[in-house]
Amino acid sequence: MSHVVYNCRGRGTITSVAKRVQTLNFENQGLTPWLRIMRDGEGLDSASTDNMTITLLGSYDGVELIRHELKRYGLMGFNPPSASNVFEGIVLTSGVLRITYGDHTEVLGPGSVVSMAPVQQAVCIVALEQAEFVYVTSTSIFKSYKEWVEKFHHMATEIAMKDGYTASHCERIRKYSVMIGCQLNLSAHDLISLSCGALFHDIGKIRAFCRMTDSIASENDAHFS
């Protein structure tokens, strides 16, 4: 297996570099065509759900730096890429992450580094407390990644709009499901599937609500015509 997990706790250099990510090489952006300085909290683009925020910090020649902020029991999953030469890595800057690959689980603290070259099986990352980390990849994925994040958020919001009491219900169910899944030591693949299924377990209400409102509208039209 090409997963490497090691802990750099106590080595402030790695943590501070990953935390700040202040000096990045860009093409035609920043102070010069090749250098840009960003302060903590800044970014080029971002997207959010109820439990996660992703922010593009830098991109050049296919390499991307993406900051992730995960709320407690927020989840991120990896699957094997189509190409065999893709590198992916994580530098944890704050919080605690539970990483499961296959049936194996590790708990990581600030300063820990995970490298995958390439991902060979499902990997699931769960924040045991609010966490922040920098994700590094050797392929340009932020655009499609952002589209998926926004699509998930739109679907969850649409469910909430159709039935007011589910506004936070779906996220609570997802969170509790992931908590139970962790206690049961589910595999990475099963944890990712459980999280998605729990979040969208009420998705049928979207179509049901539309049918119901269409029916009511038809009855009203018939009554008042």
Last residue of a domain, one of 141, 173, 199: 141
Position 67, amino acid: R
Question: Does one domain contain both 21 and 55?
Answer: yes
Task: Assess whether 122 and 59 both reside in one domain.
Answer: yes
State whether 63 and 160 are in the same domain. no
What per-residue confidence (pLDDT) applies to 164?
A: 58
Residues 126 and 176 both lie in one domain: no
Pairing of strands 3-7, 112-116: antiparallel
10 Å CB burial of residue 97 (0-12, 13-18, 19+) is buried
Residue 171 corresponds to which tokens in the numbers above? 């996220």
Q: How many domains does the chain have?
A: 2
Task: Specify the pLDDT at position 31.
Answer: 54
State pTM to two decimals: 0.74
Distance between CA atoms of residues 109 and 131, nearest Å: 9
Cα(145)–Cα(59) distance, integer angstroms = 14
The CATH number for 36's domain is 2.60.120.10
Kindly report the backbone phi and psi dihedral angles of residue 73, in degrees, each rounded to the nearest multiple of 5, phi listed first.
65, 20
The residue range of the domain holding 100 is 3-141
* Nearest to 15, CA basis, from 111, 106, 107: 111
10-residue averages of pLDDT along the chain (225 residues)? 43 41 42 79 90 93 95 93 90 97 92 94 96 96 92 75 64 91 95 89 60 43 41
Question: Tell me, what's the pLDDT at 162?
Answer: 65
92 and 40, same domain (yes or no) = yes
Query: In 3-state terms, what secondary structure has residue 169?
Result: helix
> In this structure, are 110 and 11 located in the same domain?
yes
> Which of residues 141, 162, 193 is at a domain's end?
141
58 and 106, same domain (yes or no): yes
Q: What is the pLDDT of residue 158?
A: 75
Residues 136 and 174 both lie in one domain: no
Q: Are residues 159 and 87 in the same domain?
A: no
- Give, in order, the Cα–Cα distances in Å from 1 to each of 92, 101, 104, 115, 116: 21, 10, 12, 11, 9
Residue 157 and residue 154: Cα distance in Å, rounded?
Answer: 5
Q: Which two tokens stand for residue 137?
A: 């990849």
61 contact partners, CB below 8 Å, separation of at least 6: none
Are 127 and 94 contained in the same domain?
yes
**Among 141, 165, 194, where does a domain finish?**
141
pLDDT at residue 75, as a whole number: 94
Identify whether residues 117 and 7 lie together within a single domain. yes
Question: Is 197 found in the same domain as 175?
Answer: yes
Token pair, residue 198, equals 């729990």
